[in-house]
Amino acid sequence: MAQLSRRCFLATPALLAAAPPGGPRVALVRSTHSKLAQPVPVEHPLDYPRVRAMVWQAIEYAGGLERRIRPGSWVVIKPNLVHLRGRPAYRPGDVTDWRVTKAVLEYVAERSRARRITVAEGGSYRGLHDTATRNVAMQNGVKVDAFTCDWGDDYPGFTGTLEGLLKDLSARHPDRQFDYVDLCYDAVRDAAGAFRRIEVPRARNGVGAFGARPDYFYTNTILNCDFLINVPVMKVHLMCGITACFKNYVGVAPRQCYAPPSAFSNLLLHEQHQVEGRLDHFITDLASFRPPDFNVVDGIRGLQYQEHNNRRPDQMLQNNVVLAGADTVAVDALVAHLLGFNVWDMDFLQLAVQREMGVMDLARIDTVGDDPGAIRQRWGKPRGWYGRCNRNWLVSRDPKADLRFWARHTTRGDTLDFASWSGAPPAPEGAYGAAVQVRADGVKKAVLWVGAAGRVTASLNGETVMEEENLTRYRIGQFQKPVELRSGENQLVFRAEPREGQARLSALLVDPRNDGDSMEGIRWGV
């Protein structure tokens, strides 16, 4: 983990302070927050009363829940419990801190008139009623699941099980129903009892599914509840950069439908719905069925480098932060910013904005509570991480033709496949053309990352900057070249010659750190 420069810190508050009135509100509360009754340093292990105070303060800053939750509602609280204590992939920071989940439960119980309050999650372990013997979680020789797992002393101030927590809440609030639903076994079925796929609903603007397959198996509890509170943990993810609110939706895809015979994972969800190896498309789809009504993000502890235990001693980071807000896109945008990512690299947020699910522009987000600039750090990125490549192109079967007559084309993923676009071979000279404009807010030194199948020539503002040929496996960022962008408009033009029938291209402009993050202060266009 690297600390960001003071220059970055100073830039952030000014950016966020510029948010116009009426923009989506996201609360950010750290354990040092001055309005807490007992503020403590970031290194403090915290006890439950302190975590509870942080969670409740964040919820209040974000507008509270009393008026949002109607009397008699069925409220579902969805944490991230992908692994259980004692399993190799688990370590603190991998799942939602139980103190945060408990604080949300108590807030709903004490500050709303909900009738039923449910904790719901589907993780990579079999339920107690499941007769299969593989992927079973055991503690002291006894089979456990998320309801009965004992979390030991991993969460200071919280001990025991979810079962015990819900029994205690039931005793304290006898007029409410508290329960747990294992989403792995909660699939929607048809009248004959067979699992039923549901197609992603179209947004008001007509945008539908993004995944490779538009219909999904889904869970009854998430579809049918009256009020959904998403309670993820913020951490780094191998495939989509970060995991927080949107990524937490993987748990709503029932493993009884998506697990292969040999394991209890969501492998088939990935195989059926991902695009070019990215899961951004299907996590956006999953959230589109039933977006959260509210989000509370656990930033007490999180994992860098990847989302599960990699056994590195520096993987788990303590941050003592809680975020809250109703705009899921805005909350995840701020999480990405705090973890040191370029927000515009979050492909799932770009897709969610296309569906009008929220705001990802930090300048339009009203951040209440603590200063993001004092909290932002550069977390360790996943190995092989790269940001969102350009998706909008001008393309031609004749690279010598006037750019005014090139066709506009938007790719589904990071790669422009010329044959799929045109449905025909290139013009007689045997090459395709692709062009894109890059607007920079000043002179920028960057690294041009190009992936190519075949031979590619790249020119920037009329000057050739790259000539490469690839006859091996196509990869994003296989070829890299330092370049300088001028302030204002810049023109990138590519000539791609097929080799062995293949002509593919991807383009990304990376920060001089060359860590896969897109250059800040640029926008692609055609």
398 lies in the same domain as 371: no
Q: What is the maximal distance between C-alpha atoms in the chain?
A: 79
329 lies in the same domain as 402: no
Q: List the chain residues with pLDDT less than 70.
A: 1-21, 428
411 lies in the same domain as 488: yes
* 384 part of a folded domain: no
487 lies in the same domain as 343: no
pLDDT of residue 20: 52
CA 432 vs. chain centroid, Å, equals 35
487-496 pLDDT, tens digit each: 999 999 999 9
* 383 part of a folded domain: no
Instruction: Give the 3-state secondary structure of residue 161.
Output: coil
pLDDT of residue 507: 98
CA 30 vs. chain centroid, Å, equals 21
Nearest by Cα to 306 from 317, 318, 295 = 317
**Host domain of residue 519:** 392-525
Indicate if the alpha-carbon torsion angle 146, 149, 153, 154 is positive or negative.
negative
* 118 part of a folded domain: yes
pLDDT of residue 21: 58
CA 303 vs. chain centroid, Å, equals 14
* 372 part of a folded domain: yes
243 lies in the same domain as 161: yes
Any idea what the CATH number is for the domain that residue 449 is in?
2.60.120.260
351 lies in the same domain as 417: no
Query: Which of these three, 378, 406, 434, is where a domain ends?
Result: 378
- Alpha-carbon separation of residue 496 from 188, 396, 433, 445, 502 (angstroms): 47, 10, 6, 25, 10
* 21 part of a folded domain: yes
Q: What total of structural domains would you count in the chain?
A: 2
CB 330 within 8 A of CB 365: yes
Distance CA 433, CA 407 (A): 10
* 503 part of a folded domain: yes
CB 79 within 8 A of CB 96: yes
pLDDT of residue 30: 98
Query: Which of these three, 378, 407, 435, is where a domain ends?
Result: 378
396 lies in the same domain as 330: no
100 lies in the same domain as 135: yes
Query: Which of these three, 311, 344, 378, is where a domain ends?
Result: 378
